[in-house]
Structure 1
Amino acid sequence: RTLNERIMLLDGAMGTQIQRRRLKPKQFHGEEFKTCKGDLWTCNDILCLTAPAIVEEIHLSYLEAGADIIETNTFNATSVALADYGLQDVAYRLNKAAAEIATKAAKKVSEDSGMQRFVAGAIGSTNRTCSVSPSVENPTFRNITFDELVESYTEQIKGLIDGGVDMLVIETVFDTLNAKAAIYSCLDYFEEIGQDYPLMICGTIVDASGRTLSGQTIGGFYTSVRHANAFAYGINCGLGAAQMRPFLKQLATLGEGYISCYPNAGLPNAMGEYDEGPEEMAEALRDFMERGLVNLIGGCCGTTPEHITAMKRVSQNYKPRCPSPGDKHFKLSGLESLKYKKAVHPFLNIGDRCRTVTDRTFRSLVEQQCLEDVVAIVKNQIKAGAQLIALNFDGGMEASTQMSMYCNLLASDPECCSVPFVIDSTSFDVLEAGLKCTQGKCIANSISLQNGEECMKEDALKITRYGAAVVVLAR
């Protein structure tokens, strides 16, 4: 209800406030981790266990500055990210503690001010990329799998919910496949506990090209994560407010829900620091408010409680964005979004050369692992007008492995993955293998009533959690 009445305030940077305090290494290690190998001074999240009073103090400073929603100090608190410090085993405990610290601060200020404050459990993208190979020499290689991310995210989500958060925010999304794993974890865990929590999802545009690090446009990103049914979608980090404006405007035309925006305090200077002051940043955000683009604003890297105070003062003069009904056309995505308008284009062109069952040439190339030739076949189909690329590896004992391998290969080539994929198989395991390797919204072809209605419903639910469309055969 509040989002319909006024623009709400998120908090600012946690890391900036920690750096301001010039903490000693022993404050990061504490007693519990004083013998821990490696330097923990870059692990801000661990302070939730070793120096909780400092984290609470930062939360309170943002709440007192006017923030309606504060985020837990858990951006890098998955077991995947904590493994860099050998701390993967404390992930659940750390997230629970972080949530308890934040909820304690929010409760105190809520009671003192008479105005409800909220806590969002912060879920970062981790330090791995599920849709981008870290090896130039081996484009099919990944240093993390979708299933590994789901396991790690689920552990984090459990800790945050058990610690008392009001909502979850999947933020700073630079690889949409990572975000889809986080979404899958959320939806799966919500079903397990029988309770839904509000979600906010925020992507990161890395430069003036308007794309994420993994290459998606704003339209491609939004289409890929729309299945989460988040209450808010937004953009954070990467850019300052001035540089973010055209992309936020584009998102506001796409999104049915509320729109959030929390930029950096300008662009980093030569020393990697942020120079945009509170008044300057608030004035940059004023343009978003005047245009009716936002419902939630806050700050990311380089921002402080003073920035939030300035934003709050400016926001009081403007009404929040009115959520639009959205575009109801059927959409898919690769790096870009593909909209189907029956009145304009009655049919979509599907490139159908990548089938081991029906195309002997393609089957031979797959068996010999002629990767460059497979890429060429896909590119030629796209140049000839294919709007989607179908992938089928049925007919052999390694169909799931081949599906994963070649989805990874094509995801590493911007031209090949610019269009959506049709993951094609008669085996559900093979369909899943492909869905776990595609950051865009693709089509799963197909499932059927062959094994009964309940089995079909279960498969369909899984596919929707992967964010894909599905072809259902009535047989």
Structure 2
Amino acid sequence: MPQADPTDDLKKSLSERILVLDGAMGTTIRTYGLQEKDARGERFADTDKDLLNNGDILSITRPDVIGDIHKRFYEAGSHICETNTFSATSIAQSEFFVEDPREHGGRKDPEFFQKILENPFLKDLAWELNYESSRLCRKWADNIGSDTGIRRYVAGAIGPLTVSLTNGPDANDPAFRVVTFDQVLEDYKHQVRALIDGGCDILMVETIFDSLNAKAAVVAIREVYDEMKRRLPVIVSAAVGRGGETMISAQKVEALWNAFAHIDPLAIGLNCSLGPDLMKPFLEELSACAATHVSCYPNAGLPNPLAPTGFDLEPPHMHDYMAEFAQAGLLNLAGGCCGNTPEHVAAIAQAVAKYAPRQVPVIG
């Protein structure tokens, strides 16, 4: 069942310490050596497309694995773990279950995605993925919290989708978009309702490549809150490139804060895309302008297919970088994105434990 509004407890904790987020679900899943048959289970055995890269489906077909990952991250020191729902929308799941019209000379357009949103199988699947993932993470948050006497939280992960509202794919028709704002909004609302019903404490709009997609997610959250007559804290986190801009909408971090300040997020932050060394100047910029808490969960360096996790940095490296960030007063929440295993998160938790949290500036 959904928990009571945790905002006050979270704000109190954030005033006392740097809270620890979890690490990379996809990276950690790969350490279990799962095969295609594991992802499919009996239920999806006859599906035409491969499902092994559909990590979200494992909340249904291998909840033992996803539950164990949550357990390991909480035991490593995570105060907040994200649900396994990064791609748990009808739009994103359609990539695994619907034939791509471009393979036969067609195109993806609003008419195509309207059929996706009206597809009963995809709609029911998206609900189940979010609801069950939220319940699964809730179970381990409560179990580890009870065992340790330290409250643990569940963040409902809302990913960036596989479509863009900002950019069109056709240079000859620059006004064309494959999907409409209202369609993205509808899909996100469906996800948000299920995450809340499953028992999450926080909603996290994360890995923002396209700020307009994220705007749709935020509108969805507000509309669902109004429907349900309740509120949960919101965290927004962007993925930025080497110039400090969101990848698709090219919005700089100060502009990102200005775009989302009106929702009074519990935190705003940066994740993914860059290693901690490359992310630091943009984190400094965000920390200087954001009148709320700041989160940071970078990749474990840049991708390297020869490294065991696919990324260069090992736990001691993440320890040192995050300790540097904490000592500089840049952090309220710290964790890891791609390449960060429970061992990385344990090192991050140890690194930030002795430092005071960043002081939220009073701006106005």
Q: Give me the TM-score of the superposition, normalised by structure 1.
A: 0.68
Answering whether residue 17 of structure 2 is matched by residue 6 of structure 1, we say yes
Distance 1:43 1:236 in 2: 21
* 2:314 pairs with one of 277, 286, 291: 277
Percent of pairs with identical residues: 40
Aligned partner of 1:73: which letter?
A: N
Encode CA deviations 1:226-278: one digit per residue, 9 max, x unaligned.
Answer: 22211100000010111100000000111111000000001112558201001
Distance 1:284 1:83 in 2: 38
* Residues 91, 187 of structure 2: 8 Å contact kept: yes
Distance 2:253 2:316 in 1: 28
> Any residues of structure 2 matched to 1:90-105 within 5 Å, and which?
90-105=125-140
Distance 1:37 1:228 in 2: 42
Structure scoring higher RCO (CA < 8 A, sep ≥ 6) equals 2
Distance 1:271 1:179 in 2: 33
Q: List structure 1 segments (4+ residues) > 4 angstroms apart after TM superposition.
A: none
Aligned partner of 2:289: which letter?
A: L
* 2:244 pairs with one of 210, 214, 218: 210
Find the counterpart in structure 2 of residue 313 from structure 1: 350
Q: Secondary structure at the match of 1:239?
A: coil
Answering whether residue 301 of structure 2 is matched by residue 290 of structure 1, we say no
* 1:76 pairs with one of 65, 84, 87: 87
* 2:301 pairs with one of 266, 271, 294: 266
Aligned partner of 2:163: which letter?
A: R
Q: Secondary structure at the match of 1:32?
A: coil
Find the counterpart in structure 2 of residue 354 from structure 1: none
Find the counterpart in structure 2 of residue 192 from structure 1: 227
- 1:99 to partner: Cα distance: 0.3
Distance 1:301 1:270 in 2: 13
Structure with more of its chain in strand, by fraction: 1
Answering whether residue 281 of structure 2 is matched by residue 246 of structure 1, we say yes
The answer for unaligned runs of 5 or more in structure 1 is 329-475
Find the counterpart in structure 2 of residue 112 from structure 1: 147
Distance 2:183 2:306 in 1: 36
> Any residues of structure 2 matched to 1:44-193 within 5 Å, and which?
44-86=55-97, 88-89=122-123, 90-193=125-228
Aligned partner of 1:252: which letter?
A: S
Encode CA deviations 1:304-363: one digit per residue, 9 max, x unaligned.
Answer: 11111111111121000111112x3xxxxxxxxxxxxxxxxxxxxxxxxxxxxxxxxxxx
Q: Secondary structure at the match of 2:270?
A: strand
Encode CA deviations 1:34-69: one digit per residue, 9 max, x unaligned.
Answer: 111200011000001111111000000000101000
* Residues 245, 252 of structure 2: 8 Å contact kept: yes
Per the alignment, do residues 270 and 102 of structure 1 end up closer, same or farther by CA in structure 2, a change over 3 Å counting?
closer
> Any residues of structure 2 matched to 1:319-358 within 5 Å, and which?
319-326=356-363, 328=364
Distance 1:69 1:13 in 2: 13
Q: Secondary structure at the match of 2:274?
A: strand
Distance 2:29 2:93 in 1: 18
Q: Secondary structure at the match of 1:33?
A: coil
Distance 2:239 2:62 in 1: 30
Asked which structure has the greater CA Rg, the reply is 1
- 1:217 to partner: Cα distance: 0.9
Q: Give me the TM-score of the superposition, normalised by structure 2.
A: 0.88
Distance 2:91 2:260 in 1: 22
Aligned partner of 1:104: which letter?
A: K
Distance 1:296 1:12 in 2: 12
Answering whether residue 38 of structure 2 is matched by residue 23 of structure 1, we say no
Distance 2:348 2:256 in 1: 27
> Any residues of structure 2 matched to 1:210-229 within 5 Å, and which?
210-213=244-247, 214-229=249-264
Distance 1:215 1:134 in 2: 16
- 1:139 to partner: Cα distance: 1.4
Distance 1:38 1:283 in 2: 42
- 1:88 to partner: Cα distance: 2.2
Distance 1:64 1:228 in 2: 32
Distance 2:46 2:262 in 1: 44
CA RMSD after TM alignment: 1.1
